[in-house]
Amino acid sequence: MTLKPFILTAVIAGSLTAGAQTLNNAWNSVKTNSTAIINTATTVTSGSYTVTPSLTNDEVIKGLKEALSVGTNNSSASASKADGYLKNARLFIPWPAEAQDMKARLIKLGYQKKVDEFETSLNRAAEEAAKKAAPVFVDAITGMSVGDGFAILNGSDTAATHYLREKTFVPLKEKFMPTVKEAIAKVNVTAYWTPLVTTYNRIPGVKKQNPDLNEYVCVKAINGLMVLIADEEAKIRKDPMARVTDLLKKVFGHKK
């Protein structure tokens, strides 16, 4: 073989080898990047949400609690406004059900105005109590034990609020009661109630009435706040603008 063909052959062989190595390196790079992309983008569909592998159960639980805390703060602010309970048909606290006969008799006796004033005082007490409700509720939310966060996340639009009520209502009521008693005293509910119950109990043959107003207002006030918290939860689930923190965006941002 002459020198020129030999040199040409060597050059071609070297080029082919270098080219093959370049292609091999490029292919390895593609595989590596593709794997990284797939690992980042792979999703697992569960119920109404598409969850990335990076979203852990602990993060979901924290997100749910954060949603309830945000909902509680907003709900307390709304309920504590003037007429927050009184003019909201969903929250309005009516005359105690066990004393309806008493209410009917008093109205017949001409006490309609006094009856209305008493009902107004019940709702004013709830509005007053709502001003201090948020820390009590948030404390209950923080201490709430949650096992499967994804089960609640994939539940109904108010699943977290329902879980809160189910798991914390009794201790929540105990902690909220002092606030309610203080509110009842501040708006002077008994000043409206005492004359009415005294007048009624003097009627011959009637069953004496004196419901536990502290218990009644406390339960009704909590129920009203739960209604509003449920509304806030549903809003966070449906409206991206309501997800005011990065965690809320991450947890509730995977809805299909």
Backbone phi and psi for residue 88, each to the nearest 5 degrees, phi listed first? -105, 110
Task: Name residue, tokens 């201490």.
Answer: 143
The 10 Å Cβ neighbour count of residue 174 is 11
* pLDDT at residue 77, as a whole number: 97
Q: What is the pLDDT of residue 109?
A: 95
What's the confidence (pLDDT) of residue 64?
Answer: 97
Give domain limits for the chain.
Answer: 3-42, 55-252
To the nearest 10 degrees (0 to 180), the angle between helices 133-142 and 213-238 is 70
pLDDT digit string (tens) for the chain, length 256 residues: 454 444 444 444 444 455 445 445 544 543 444 333 333 333 444 455 544 458 899 999 999 999 999 999 999 999 999 999 999 999 999 999 999 999 999 999 999 999 999 999 999 999 999 999 999 999 999 999 999 999 999 999 999 999 999 999 999 999 999 999 999 999 999 999 999 999 999 999 999 998 999 999 999 999 999 999 999 999 999 999 999 999 999 999 865 4
Rounded Cα gap, residues 229 and 62, in angstroms: 17
pTM value is 0.78
Please report the pLDDT score of residue 28 as a whole number.
Answer: 53
